């Protein structure tokens, strides 16, 4: 696999020169590199395979208590009263908390890092106040000396519920007579504002050109409706944390999170603390996929610790994860595309309805912006609705919002290609967004790699491989923005010349390895001499979370800048030792050299030599960077998939799968390939089997991996990958984020392949065996 994957890096716009020395810092992607693009063993690998790595539930403190949560059995109910007196009196119980322990917050959207957060909603999501808004909504929590007593205490808490009618389906929630999730919710984005409340939190609209003109110019128009089920991120490690409050009001919090600075901000707000009094330490993380960007247990553990005076550990069960944590929204999407007979797309229109869950804030806006992003279309109109329903609040899940809308659009594009008898790949090439094209959602694209991924797909042996009778092949492309944002990094030079790299972005996909490689490349030292750590919130300045595919890009830029900061200091120290001007010292291949003959004749000084004498030349050497990374390059990918369908049982098998994606520059290709393969696998589950099944009272029937069917290893073939490299000009080495784009194309690629095999267009996900068999029987 390694060898094949190596040869699959398609450096289409970057020359791969011989490895060798290079001038310091800030090379562009077409410069030869020594470390960028190599595949060393990841620095956290050994501890993970031996079980030594510490995850969220692995922290143990003296006198630690166990915290457990009482959750609503109702999908929607008013909470008349909560009587926790018996539970509080149970020996071994040290604290009980309810809504009364959290101060209410005003309803306003305030920035938290790159996100807008409404703390009135957040305080209600972590602990129900007036109403329980979904089955599994936290209603109370206890801390006790052991789990058995904690559970017993939960059973002694008396909650008087007044069950209310509930609504989960997005269309039912939008109906005029739907039960109201919030009695005071007035739709935003509608002029004049409605006078009556509804479950539609927001209406948004993106318009580009004039679609009526576009459709008038079209020879064919296809309009279809699509439905997708909510899906869970499926991270293997449950949410877990340990909180420890001191008597002086300071606290430490260990947790499994994608962003401990964001956790600090949220928790400090919910507990009424100054952020500097709360230190958050990110544990190793067993998967997040966007789902660990929010807080659930953390504020409860802190409150229980504050109230009890003991450290408190909390960890969710798998069942709690399914009942109470954020899935990607279920959606109903209508797409209409107009095309000329020559294959040119002239108009695109879509209406998106996304389930936000119990509180507003579904990723419908991103869904609107991404829907037609892969295409150069003159006339586009996309309308989105953010709809509250009685389900856990939606949380980010890889490219949040995009997989649903692009599934719909990529399915329609495929249908249109078939209608005019054009190869769907050629149709995409003919309409692909490229540099200079104004995206439907606003900006004009810089250098992007969609065309390159399509060409690589066209030239891949997979695309021409013969299919057996009855099998089908599908193709789909996908887009995601990628982001940068606030980021700090520090490089601490040790006295032996080794370097401690401190980053603030938790490593969920191998980013520590990628950061080391970028630091090594810039410093010109061996990557194995750089040891990366994720610093806690007291160690670094504010650093936004690992999300938006930003870490290798943004923390990478910070690390490069910190390395350049260190190089400036190293040149100064060498200049001091040689008694020449700092400008007369160059940093090449990890050592200080005189800049030229005029500078004088000196033996080069290595990093270790300068480090060893730092005490005599001005003290410790630390490279720092605090940046707001700009210019994240958009990510595009194209997926090819072959399927076979058992026509008697409706079961779809994935026979072959190839992911092609533009990585800008693959810093550590193993982890780029891992992202590509992981996205495909999650997409296969989303396409074929994953769904939440509710009873008529809104209670989840499949809260576990047995009946919420993410794929197992034997369900998927080895996923082939091709990394295309169209460098991002904003990053010194050309890096683009790669983590999210891979989840966007699979659902359409698979639906298109099934259509190729059966001649049946499936518009509702998942395309599960009963649905397939039913459709096969209908066509006879």
What residues make contact with another protein under the rule CB under 8 A?
151, 648-651, 688-689, 693, 701-702, 706-707, 709, 711-712, 714-715, 768-770, 773-774, 777
Smaller CB distance to another protein: residue 569 or 689? Answer: 689
For residue 82 the two structure tokens come to 């909560």
Question: At its nearest, how many Å lie between another protein and the CB of residue 67?
Answer: 18
Q: Which long-range contacts (CB under 8 A, 24 or more apart) does 657-660 make?
A: 657/684, 657/716, 657/717, 657/719, 657/720, 658/457, 658/460, 658/462, 658/719, 658/720, 658/721, 658/722, 659/719, 659/720, 659/721, 659/722, 659/742, 660/453, 660/456, 660/457, 660/460, 660/721, 660/722, 660/724
Say how far residue 271 (Cα) sits from the centre of its chain.
27
Percentages (nearest 5) of helix, strand, coil residues in the chain: 30, 25, 45
In the complex with another protein, which residue's Cβ is closer, 50 or 714?
Answer: 714
Q: How many CB atoms lie under 10 A from the CB of residue 682? A: 23
Of 100 and 707, the one with the shorter C-beta distance to another protein is 707
> What are the residues whose beta carbons fall under 8 Å from the beta carbon of 5, sequence distance 6 or more?
669, 670, 673, 721
Q: Are 704 and 323 in contact (CB under 8 A)?
A: no
587, burial (CB in 10 Å: exposed 0-12, middle 13-18, buried 19+) = buried
In whole angstroms, give the CA distance from residue 709 to residue 455.
34
Judged by beta carbon, residue 318 or residue 761, the one nearer another protein is 318
Distance CA 495, CA 257 (A): 33
The tokens describing 354, both together, are 């996304």
User: Comparing C-alpha atoms, which of 197, 222, 350, 366 is closest to residue 290?
Assistant: 366
Closer to another protein at the Cβ: 277 or 771?
771
Q: What angle do CA 260, 262, 265 make, to 5 degrees?
A: 110
User: What's the closest the beta carbon of residue 142 comes to another protein, in angstroms?
Assistant: 16
Whichever of 124 and 323 has its CB closer to another protein, that residue is 323
Return the number of the residue (537 or 677) whose C-beta is nearest another protein: 677
The CA distances from residue 585 to 526, 599, 609, 658, in Å, are 21, 8, 15, 49
**Minimum distance from residue 514 beta carbon to another protein (Å):** 32
**Is 238:317 a contact under the CB 8 Å cutoff?**
yes
- Distance in Å, CB of 677 to another protein, minimum: 18
For residue 476, is the peptide bond before it cis, meaning its omega torsion is within 30 degrees of 0?
no
Residue closer to another protein (CB basis): 129 or 651: 651
Task: State the pairing for strand pair 77-83/158-163.
Answer: antiparallel
Distance CA 388, CA 231 (A): 16
Nearest distance, CB of residue 714 and another protein, angstroms? 4
Q: Which is nearer to another protein, 356 or 641 (CB)?
A: 641
**Distant-in-sequence, close-in-space partners of 713: CB < 8 Å, separation ≥ 6:** none
Residues in the chain: 780
CB of 1 to another protein, least distance (A): 21
CB of 701 to another protein, least distance (A): 5
CB of 336 to another protein, least distance (A): 32
CB of 659 to another protein, least distance (A): 21
Q: Which is nearer to another protein, 155 or 426 (CB)?
A: 155
User: Rounded to the nearest whole angstrom, what is the least distance from the CB of residue 777 to another protein in the complex?
Assistant: 8
Q: Which is nearer to another protein, 248 or 696 (CB)?
A: 696
Strands (DSSP E) contained in 553-651 are 585-588, 591-594, 605-606, 622-629, 635-645
Residue 712 Cβ vs another protein, minimum distance, rounded to whole Å? 5
User: Nearer Cβ to another protein, position 67 or 113?
Assistant: 67
Two structure tokens written together for 30: 């077409």
Q: How far is the CB of 756 from another protein (least distance, A)?
A: 21
């Amino acid at each position: 696999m390694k060898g094949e994957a190596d040869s699959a890096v398609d450096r289409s716009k970057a020359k791969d020169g011989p490895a060798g020395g290079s001038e310091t810092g800030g090379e562009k992607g077409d410069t030869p590199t020594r470390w960028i693009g190599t595949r060393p063993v990841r620095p956290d690998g050994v501890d993970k395979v031996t079980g030594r790595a510490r995850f969220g539930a692995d922290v143990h403190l003296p006198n630690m208590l166990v915290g457990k949560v009482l959750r609503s059995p109702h999908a929607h109910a008013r909470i008349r009263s909560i009587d926790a007196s018996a539970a509080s009196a149970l020996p071994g119980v040290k604290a009980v908390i309810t809504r009364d322990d959290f101060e209410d917050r005003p309803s306003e959207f305030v920035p938290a890092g790159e996100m807008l957060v409404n703390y009135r909603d957040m305080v209600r999501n972590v602990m129900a106040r007036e109403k329980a808004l979904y089955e599994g909504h936290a209603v109370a929590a206890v801390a006790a000396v052991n789990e058995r007593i904690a559970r017993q205490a939960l059973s002694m808490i008396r909650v008087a519920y007044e069950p209310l009618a509930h609504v989960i389906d997005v269309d039912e929630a939008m109906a005029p007579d739907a039960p109201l999730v919030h009695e005071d919710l007035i739709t935003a984005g509608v002029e004049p504002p409605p006078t009556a409340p509804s479950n539609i939190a927001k209406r948004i609209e993106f318009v580009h050109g004039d679609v009526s003109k576009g459709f008038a110019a079209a020879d064919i128009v296809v309009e279809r409706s699509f439905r997708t089920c909510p899906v869970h991120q499926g991270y293997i490690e449950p949410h877990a944390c340990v909180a420890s409050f001191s008597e002086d009001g300071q606290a430490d919090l260990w947790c499994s999170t994608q962003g401990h600075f964001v956790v600090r901000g949220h928790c400090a707000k919910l507990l009424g603390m100054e952020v500097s009094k709360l230190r958050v330490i990110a544990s190793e993380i067993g998967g997040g996929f966007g789902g660990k960007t929010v807080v659930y247990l953390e504020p409860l553990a802190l409150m229980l610790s504050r109230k009890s005076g003991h450290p408190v550990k909390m960890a969710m069960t798998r069942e709690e994860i399914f009942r109470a944590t954020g899935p990607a929204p279920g959606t109903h999407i209508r797409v209409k595309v107009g095309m000329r007979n020559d294959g040119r797309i002239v108009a695109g229109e879509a209406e998106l309805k996304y389930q936000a869950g119990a509180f507003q804030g579904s990723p419908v806006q991103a869904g609107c912006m991404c829907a037609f992003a892969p295409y150069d279309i003159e006339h586009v109109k996309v309308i989105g609705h953010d709809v509250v329903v009685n389900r856990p609040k939606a949380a980010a899940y890889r490219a949040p919002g995009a997989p649903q809308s692009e599934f719909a659009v990529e399915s329609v594009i495929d249908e249109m290609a078939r209608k005019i008898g054009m190869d769907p790949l050629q149709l995409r090439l003919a309409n692909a967004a490229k540099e200079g094209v104004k995206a439907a959602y606003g900006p004009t694209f810089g250098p992007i790699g969609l065309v390159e991924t399509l060409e690589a797909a066209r030239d891949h042996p997979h695309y021409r491989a013969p299919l057996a009778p009855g099998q089908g092949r599908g193709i789909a492309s996908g887009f995601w923005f990628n982001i940068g944002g606030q980021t700090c990094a520090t490089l601490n030079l040790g006295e032996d010349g080794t370097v401690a790299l401190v980053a603030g972005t938790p490593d969920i996909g191998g980013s520590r390895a990628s950061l080391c490689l970028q630091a090594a490349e810039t410093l010109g030292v061996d990557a194995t001499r750089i040891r990366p750590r994720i610093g806690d919130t007291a160690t670094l300045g504010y650093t936004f979370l690992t999300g938006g595919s930003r870490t290798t890009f943004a923390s990478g830029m910070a690390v490069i800048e910190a390395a350049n900061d260190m190089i400036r200091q190293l040149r100064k120290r060498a200049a001091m030792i040689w008694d020449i001007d700092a400008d007369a010292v160059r940093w090449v291949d990890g050592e200080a050299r005189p800049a030229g003959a005029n500078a004088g004749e000196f033996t080069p000084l290595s990093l270790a030599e300068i480090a060893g004498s730092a005490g005599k030349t001005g003290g410790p050497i630390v490279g720092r960077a605090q940046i707001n990374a700009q210019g994240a390059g958009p990510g595009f990918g194209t997926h090819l998939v072959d399927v076979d369908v058992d026509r008697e049982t409706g079961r779809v098998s994935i026979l072959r799968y190839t992911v092609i994606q533009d990585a800008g520059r693959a810093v550590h290709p193993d982890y780029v390939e891992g992202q590509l393969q992981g996205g495909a696998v999650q997409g296969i589950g989303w396409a074929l089997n994953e769904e939440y099944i509710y009873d008529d009272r809104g209670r989840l029937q499949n809260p576990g991996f047995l009946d919420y069917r993410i794929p197992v290893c034997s369900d998927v073939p080895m996923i082939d990958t091709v990394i295309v490299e169209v460098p991002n000009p904003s990053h010194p080495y050309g890096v683009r984020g790669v983590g999210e784009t891979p989840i966007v194309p699979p659902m359409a690629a698979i639906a298109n392949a099934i259509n190729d095999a059966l001649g049946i267009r499936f518009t509702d996900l998942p395309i599960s065996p009963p649905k397939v068999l039913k459709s096969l029987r209908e066509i006879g």
